[in-house]
Amino acid sequence: MSIRIKGTGSALPLKTVTNNELSRFVDTTDEWIIERTGIESRHIATGETVDMLAGEAAWKALLDAGVDADKIDLIIVATCSAEQALPCIACQVQKHIGAVNAVAFDINAACAGFLFAMNTADAYISGGIYNNALIIGAEVLSNIVNWSDRTTCILFGDGAGAVYFEKDDRPLKFIQKSNGFKDDVLFCWQRDSVSVFYRGVQTYKYVTMDGREVFRFATRVVSETINELLSNEGLTADDIDLFILHQANLRIIESISKRLGVDMSKFPTNVERLGNTSSASIPLLVDEVRKEGRLKEGMRIVLSGFGAGLTYSACLMEL
């Protein structure tokens, strides 16, 4: 038993911010950002919240699938930038779309979150507990980046993507891994303590990153994990029609394509227009390529994400 894509949807904040706009308040240039990251612009929230974007993407995915909200069994939202601690965003989505019969909860595995959520849904559905799931990646990272740090604020964007899955019997395989010992290369201590007993010092309230280390980690583990996943199934990278990777940086994607020995034409990208939207990047790209008609019956695709934790995952899916 496994799960199959039945509908997809996206939501982006209205405001687009170009590199030139960023260069007005941090010491950077359009040329530097494009050369080092491939990013030209990103959508930034000016009032949109994680639950609003998640709800809109979810609603569009259901519309696309032609499914009524009261038929949904499970809603999982992957996010690391929710404005609210309680209740979880998935419960907010349940309310927004009227999914009265769904069980709803959030997962935080940073930029690998969507795949961790998808793997969780697959386990529930393959275990016979639920028949379908609405999986959403949603972020307003602009709330947690330091807008005076040119090394990080240029990278991220806001948005949400949703995929509605139903039970199926086509092959679906996952590898997911975590390395909490590397928690110091990418982190954010988001909240101020309000405890009267708290005596610690509140620092690192923004996304803090060792960019070079993350770059090295991503290029190595993603290609290794994809190769491991494929060799487990007796496949090679040549057997795959499309690689839908977390959109962190165009150079990372190009390096992975080189390491796998696969032409970049099999790696669709939207990082140029959306920046790194963390857990939203994979479902946003899935929605985009699906609407472009690039996902066809019988294709084999690989999805792969990596992020803070460190966490990383790869998924092999037959359409």
* Residue with Cβ nearer ligand COA (7 or 307): 307
- Of the residues 111, 153, 188, 315, only one is catalytic, namely 111
Q: Are strands 103-107 and 132-139 parallel, antiparallel or unpaired?
A: unpaired
43 is an active site residue: no
CB of 210 to ligand COA, least distance (A): 8
Query: Which residues, 6+ apart, have CB-to-CB distance to 70 below 8 Å?
Result: 98, 99, 100, 101
Per-residue HEC secondary structure of 155-185 comes to CECCEEEEEEEEEECCCEEEEEEECHHHCCC
CB of 122 to ligand COA, least distance (A): 23
- Smallest CA-to-CA distance from 142 within 269, 15, 315 is with 15
246 is an active site residue: yes
Query: DSSP string covering 256-307, please?
Result: HHHHHT--GGGS---HHHH-B-GGGHHHHHHHHHHHTT---TT-EEEEEEEE
Residue nearest to ligand COA (CB): 211
Would you tell me which residues interact with ligand COA (CB under 6 A)? Answer: 28, 32-33, 36-37, 111, 150-151, 154-155, 209, 211-212, 214-215, 248-249, 276, 307
CB of 172 to ligand COA, least distance (A): 24
CB of 149 to ligand COA, least distance (A): 9
Determine the Cα–Cα distance for residues 241 and 104; give it in Å rounded to an integer: 33
- Of the residues 19, 119, 153, 246, only one is catalytic, namely 246
153 is an active site residue: no
* Residue with Cβ nearer ligand COA (33 or 242): 33
- Of the residues 108, 119, 270, 276, only one is catalytic, namely 276
* Residue with Cβ nearer ligand COA (134 or 141): 141
Determine the Cα–Cα distance for residues 7 and 166; give it in Å rounded to an integer: 9
**Which residues are known to be catalytic?**
111, 246, 276
